[in-house]
Chains A and B, each alone.
Chain A
Amino acid sequence: MAVLDRTRTPDAGVVVRDLTLAYGSTVVQHELSFHVRPASIFVIMGVSGCGKSTLLRHMIDLEQAAQGDITFDGQRLWTENVAERRALQRRIGVLFQSTALWSSMTVGENVGLPLQLHTRLSAAEIRDQVAFKLALVGLAGQESRMPSELSGGMQKRAGLARAIALDPDYLFLDEPSAGLDPITSQRLDSLIMNLRDALQLSVIAVTHELPSIFTIADDSIYLDNESRRAIAHGDPRALAANAEHARVRAFLNRQSVDASTRAEGDGPESPARSEVL
């Protein structure tokens, strides 16, 4: 478990350097480099099939890339030291796309299991922690329900409660608002922002939901599925207007790429924070 007010070092947050993602000989993304600042929300965006989820799977150590490096607060993810690696993994919370709640356990057991396995808390304190985490996501008193009895939005929130069970420093969200109605999706967005503020979390979210991106993102990266590179990096609101690449503007403005190319040259390109990595 981490202490909330973390000291800020130059390496603070998550740093990805020259990461090349590949399945066999097929390269999914070339040489990704970016920095997720502590206590900020970083969005990985791009069209379906661009490698967003693959990048996320690498960042949470479910896969290891042949080339490149990822550090969390200066600590390398892919070290040979297994104990260090597991310790770092425990500081990472993940909300999977399908929520991945264990269907044979109640909601309370789902949230309590990481605490049982990784802490030496007493049963009573685990019960308190579970009640608190569920209250944080607005599911207070739902401990004894089974995941299958919850609606889609409630399942997402239960998944979120499980992801923050161990008070992680880094929270990864895979398509958090996929399959949710606009109101539930908006509630989830504000919940994520509240949790970031309250828990001082570094949040890394993979999503292509535009309203969500514009609401939560402090910073973002756009993975292109044609050049297989990150072609934009910065605040998505600025990128929507000023991104250098037509495909990024088309994505963020929900236009066809042609329409976005035609609009090119309407005024000077602002340097904002748009850059090619």
Chain B
Amino acid sequence: MPQSASHSRLYRIESRNGAAALVLGGDWGGASRLPTSQRLVAELVAARGDSEAPITIEGHDLESAHPRVAALVYAVSQGLRSREIAVAYTGLPASVSSLVALARPPAADAASGSRAHWLTRLGAAGRNRMEAFTRAAEMVGNAFVATPRLSVGKAQARWVDFMALLRETGASSLPVVTVVNLLIGAVLGFVGAVQLAAFGAGLYLADLVGIAVAREMAAIMTAFIMAGRIGATFAAHLATMEANEEIDALRMIGVSPFEFLVLPRLTALTLMMPLLFLYAAALGIGGGMIVADLVLDTSPASFLGRLQDAVAARHFVIGFVKAVCFGILIALASCYLGMRAGRNAAEVGRAATRTVVVSIIGIIVIDAIFALCTNALGV
């Protein structure tokens, strides 16, 4: 006598003379929620009790052979087999049984997701860090060795690429460098004008804007822009090349990826950063001068005159040297992180982001070191 264990048009579990059966029926296409296979397995095992007989899955009452049936039958069968319970099918539509027959259960050794001991993982992480450090040092070393080769025209780089890089890093960056530095100069001008005017020292605005821009702001703001604009581009480009095996192809024709890819980028950025710095400093001071004229009625002529007296050339030299260092940092960081990226799309994005983050942190750290050194030297 069938004893109904649960009532549903779609399925019911019966136990007949100790043998459990899963009886499927109805139209599965419309049902939005079905019982989970785990629940069915648990119910079947409970209905089976201590019996040794195989569990039957019946499909005589199915109105359609919806693909969901096949997935459920497979899942229930797998669940039962993993508990070493035999399964038999009766009355399943041909398409369902052929699908279930086609599905191959996992190999016995497939599940090997065991994690290593935490000490092992810590050691491996440490070794990875050490290796990354070695590689970074190697790249800096390469830069020192290869730069003289470039200057005597012996490096394996293409002029066309180099020129395109010069344009990309230099001329193409001008609009954004212009906007940012002009506004930074103007903002410094406003802040300074209000404070200095309170003491009747409005004329000294030229000192404030001139020194701040020449020594700090022009170089730092330009470096931030280049990190976002050029560093990210370099990293994404090289990471994509790595993913497409283009870098391996270069190695195979005997070209050093460092000389072909890194050196032109390094040189272009190192050459362009100081030039952009000079341009940015001029614009920043220009921004301050406009504000001085508008807010304090200081004429451009007297502003520039004061600037000449107040801002010594050494302030520009310090900014200039910083700009060179920032350029080297951004170029090496972007190329290093780009070439070390993994071979997939997500890694390309990650390389670009990490380049920007590393560059910005590096820029601030280098700036702080400069501040310490110039302070100690009294310049």
- B65-96 residues at the A interface, CB under 8 angstroms: 65-68, 70-72, 74-75, 78, 93, 95
Which one of B101-109, B150-158, B196-204 is at the A interface? B101-109
In the complex, A167→B37 CA distance in Å?
19
Q: Check B95 against A136 for contact (C-beta < 8 Å).
A: no
Q: Which of A3, A124, A141 contacts B64 (CB 8 A)?
A: A3
Kindly identify which residue among A102, A128, A200 contacts B75, using a CB–CB cutoff of 8 Å.
A128
**In this assembly, does A199 line the interface, its C-beta being within 8 Å of a C-beta of chain B?**
yes
A138's nearest neighbour on chain B, judged by CB, is B104
A223 within 8 A of B: no
Asked if B105 and A4 make an inter-chain contact with CB atoms under 8 angstroms apart, the answer reads: no
A135 partner residues in chain B, CB cutoff 8 A: 74, 103-106
Q: Is the CB of A140 within 8 A of B64?
A: no
Is A171 an interface residue, CB under 8 A from the partner? Answer: no
Which chain A positions have C-beta within 8 A of B29?
Answer: 1, 3
CB-CB under 8 A for A142 and B110, given A4-B67, A131-B75: yes
Instruction: List chain B residues, Cβ under 8 A from A194.
Output: 102
State A200–B75 Cα separation when bound (angstroms).
21
Stretch in B15-23, B261-269, B340-348 touching the partner: B340-348
Contacts of B95 in A (CB 8 A): 4-5, 198-200
Residue-wise interface mask of B (1-45) relative to A, using a CB-CB cutoff of 8 A (1 in contact, 0 not): 000000000000000000000000000010011101110000000
Q: At the interface, yes or no: A78 with Cβ under 8 Å from chain B?
A: no
Give chain A residues whose Cβ lies under 8 Å from the Cβ of B34: 122, 125
Are B68 and A197 within 8 A (Cβ)? no
CB-CB under 8 A from B33, the residues of chain A are 120, 122, 125
Contact A131 B78 (CB under 8 A): yes
B106 near A199 with CB under 8 A, answer: no
B113 part of interface (Cβ distance < 8 Å) = yes
Say yes or no: A136-B344 contact (C-beta < 8 A), given A4-B65, A120-B32: no
Whether a CB of chain A sits under 8 angstroms from the CB of B98 is: yes
Q: Determine whether A103 belongs to the interface, using a CB cutoff of 8 Å to chain B.
A: yes
- CB contacts (< 8 Å) of A136 on chain B: these are 99, 102-103
- B86 CB, min distance to chain A CBs, angstroms: 19
Judge if A129 is at the interface, Cβ distance under 8 Å.
Answer: yes
Query: By the criterion CB–CB under 8 Å, are A1 and B71 in contact?
Result: no
With the chains together, A144 CA to B114 CA distance in Å? 12
Whether B102 lies near A103 (C-beta < 8 A) is no
Contact B67–A1 (Cβ < 8 Å): yes
Interface presence of A132 (CB below 8 A): yes
A148 to B346, CA, bound (A): 11
Q: Please tell me if the beta carbons of A4 and B37 are within 8 angstroms of each other in the complex.
A: no
Residues of A contacting B103 in the complex (Cβ-Cβ under 8 angstroms): 132, 135-136, 140
A124 touching B104, Cβ below 8 Å: no
Which chain B residues border A138 with CB–CB below 8 Å?
Answer: 104
Complex contacts, A131 vs chain B, CB 8 Å: 74-75, 78
For residue A7, CB closer than 8 A to chain B, the reply is no
On A, residues with C-beta under 8 Å from B are: 1-5, 102-104, 120, 122, 124-125, 128-129, 131-133, 135-136, 138, 140-142, 144, 147-148, 167, 194-195, 197-200
Contacts A4-B95, A125-B33, A131-B78 supplied; 16 other A-B pairs, CB < 8 Å: A1-B29, A4-B67, A5-B65, A102-B345, A125-B71, A128-B36, A132-B70, A132-B71, A132-B103, A135-B103, A140-B107, A141-B106, A148-B344, A198-B98, A198-B102, A200-B95
19 contacting pairs across A/B (C-beta < 8 A): A1-B29, A1-B67, A3-B29, A4-B65, A4-B95, A5-B95, A102-B345, A103-B344, A104-B346, A124-B36, A125-B36, A128-B36, A128-B74, A135-B74, A140-B103, A140-B107, A140-B110, A194-B102, A195-B102
